[in-house]
């Protein structure tokens, strides 16, 4: 327990106990490496909490509140991406020492990330029901955002959430390229290059399918009017 009210509420002593002692670090940058992971796990708990809160708002028809929370999740993801820039500057030789103490531990075992990978399963049923109740498919919202403004704002927050998650995955791959290279076997014995496949995944594929449908619709309308189409 700390001495001040602040220390007791924030639980700073317990928090600092989670860090490897400074005199036991295997490399100067091990503290940065550990704190980057630990803070990411904490932020992902906040993101997941906000996703659940946003879904509850959607279910109650409180779309502005839902959009607000989904937007915040996107900002948390963005924050996680930005903080990788600090680790990116670590000399790879520092990571060699850290890696030797990691054993076979891997980010693939991150509880926060693995729960984030299931975000779509939490979000989509509520969105699907909303679309059905309103009788307005996503493509119609893309076609006339001003006529469905609340849905437009909600979907925009979801596009950002999904997009920022992929941006984190890309930034992480870039970090891997800087630290160990993209074509070497990782701690789990699979090439780091496999991460590229994950970078292509969407958590809410229906949103992105709707963009394609939108362009196809516009092209069909153009063809009907005898105008050339730019994107097939
Ligand atoms: C020196 C820095 C880092 C290196 C070299 C690195 C390396 C790797 C590699 C090679 C993988 C592929 C799976 C495996 O075999 O382990 C991986 C996956 C992963 N790492 Fe990192 N990592 C670094 C930092 C981080 C940080 C700071 C985080 C979190 C904040 C993180 C979270 C993850 C996650 C969530 C995965 C699974 C990703 C997926 O399946 O798409 N890593 N990492």
Residue 81 lies in a domain: yes
**What local confidence, expressed as pLDDT, does residue 231 receive?**
64
Residue 231 lies in a domain: no
Among protein residues, the one with the nearest Cα to ligand 1's atom 8 is: 176
Task: Give the range of the structural domain holding residue 194, as residue numbers without chain letter.
Answer: 5-224
Residue 180 lies in a domain: yes
Residue 213 lies in a domain: yes
Number of neighbours of residue 155 by Cβ within 10 angstroms: 23
User: Could you tell me if 149 and 63 are in contact, meaning their C-beta atoms sit under 8 angstroms apart?
Assistant: no
**What local confidence, expressed as pLDDT, does residue 229 receive?**
60
Alpha-carbon gap, residue 22 to 91, rounded angstroms? 19
Residue 206 lies in a domain: yes
CA of 198 to the centre of ligand 1 (A): 12
**What local confidence, expressed as pLDDT, does residue 28 receive?**
98
Among protein residues, the one with the nearest Cα to ligand 1's atom 6 is: 176
What residues have CB less than 8 Å from 160, skipping those under 6 apart?
Answer: 70, 71, 74
Among protein residues, the one with the nearest Cα to ligand 1's atom 42 is: 107
**What local confidence, expressed as pLDDT, does residue 104 receive?**
80
Residue 230 lies in a domain: no
Count up the domains in the chain and report the number: 1
Alpha-carbon gap, residue 40 to 1, rounded angstroms? 25
CA of 172 to the centre of ligand 1 (A): 7
Among protein residues, the one with the nearest Cα to ligand 1's atom 28 is: 37
Q: Which residues form ligand 1's pocket by a CB distance below 6 Å?
A: 36-37, 40, 87, 95, 106-108, 110, 113, 169, 172, 175-176, 179-180, 186-188, 190, 192, 195, 198
DSSP states of the chain: --SSHHHHHHTHHHHHHTSPPGGG-SSTTHHHHHHHHHHHHHHHHHHHHHHHHHHHHHHTT-HHHHHHHHHHHHHHHHHHHHHHHHHHTS-HHHHHHHHHHHTT--GGG-HHHHHHTTHHHHHHHHHHHHHHHHT--HHHHHH-GGGGHHHHHHHHHHHHHHHHHHHHHHHHHHHHHHHT-TTSB-TTSSBGGGHHHHHH--SSHHHHHHHHHHHHHHHHHHHHTT---S--
Each residue's pLDDT expressed in tens, for the chain with a length of 232 residues? 578 999 999 999 999 999 999 999 999 999 999 999 999 999 999 999 999 999 999 999 999 999 999 999 999 999 999 999 999 999 999 999 999 988 888 899 999 999 999 999 999 999 999 999 999 999 999 999 999 999 999 999 999 999 999 999 999 999 999 999 988 876 566 667 788 889 999 999 999 999 999 999 999 999 999 876 666 6
**What local confidence, expressed as pLDDT, does residue 189 receive?**
62
Ligand 1 atom at shortest distance from the alpha carbon of 39:
30
Which one of 91, 95, 108 would you pick to mutate in the ligand 1 pocket, going by the greatest count of ligand atoms within 8 A of its CB? 108
Residue 114 lies in a domain: yes
Which one of 107, 195, 196, 197 would you pick to mutate in the ligand 1 pocket, going by the greatest count of ligand atoms within 8 A of its CB? 107
**What local confidence, expressed as pLDDT, does residue 186 receive?**
63
CATH number, residue 23: 1.20.58.480
Alpha-carbon gap, residue 88 to 95, rounded angstroms? 11
Residue 91 lies in a domain: yes
**What local confidence, expressed as pLDDT, does residue 26 receive?**
96
What residues have CB less than 8 Å from 230, skipping those under 6 apart?
Answer: 219
**What local confidence, expressed as pLDDT, does residue 230 receive?**
64
CA of 72 to the centre of ligand 1 (A): 24
Contacts made by residues 179-188, CB under 8 angstroms, sequence distance 24+: 179/90, 179/92, 179/95, 180/92, 180/95, 180/99, 186/106, 187/99, 187/102, 187/103, 187/104, 187/105, 187/106, 188/104, 188/106, 188/108
CA of 121 to the centre of ligand 1 (A): 23
pTM of the model: 0.94
């Amino acid at each position: 327990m700390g001495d001040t009210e602040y220390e007791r509420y924030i639980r700073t002593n317990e928090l600092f106990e989670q860090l490897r002692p400074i005199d036991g670090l295997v490399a100067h940058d091990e503290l940065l490496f550990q704190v980057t992971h630990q803070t990411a796990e904490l932020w992902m708990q906040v993101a997941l909490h906000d996703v659940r809160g946003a879904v509850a708002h959607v279910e109650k028809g409180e779309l502005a509140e839902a959009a607000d929370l989904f937007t915040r999740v996107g900002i948390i993801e963005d924050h996680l991406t930005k903080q990788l820039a600090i680790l990116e500057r670590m000399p790879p030789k520092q990571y060699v020492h850290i890696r030797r103490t990691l054993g076979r531990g891997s980010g693939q075992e991150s509880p926060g990330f693995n729960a984030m990978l299931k975000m779509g399963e939490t979000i989509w049923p509520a969105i699907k029901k909303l679309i059905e109740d309103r009788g307005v498919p996503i493509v119609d919202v893309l076609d006339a955002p001003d006529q469905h403004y609340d849905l437009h704002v909600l979907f925009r927050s979801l596009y950002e959430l999904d997009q920022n998650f992929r941006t984190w995955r890309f930034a992480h791959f870039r970090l891997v390229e800087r630290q160990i290279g993209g074509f070497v076997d990782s701690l789990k014995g699979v090439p780091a290059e496999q991460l590229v496949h994950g970078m292509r995944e969407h958590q809410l594929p229906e949103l992105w399918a709707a963009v394609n449908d939108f362009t196809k619709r516009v092209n069909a309308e153009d063809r009907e009017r005898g105008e050339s189409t730019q994107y097939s």
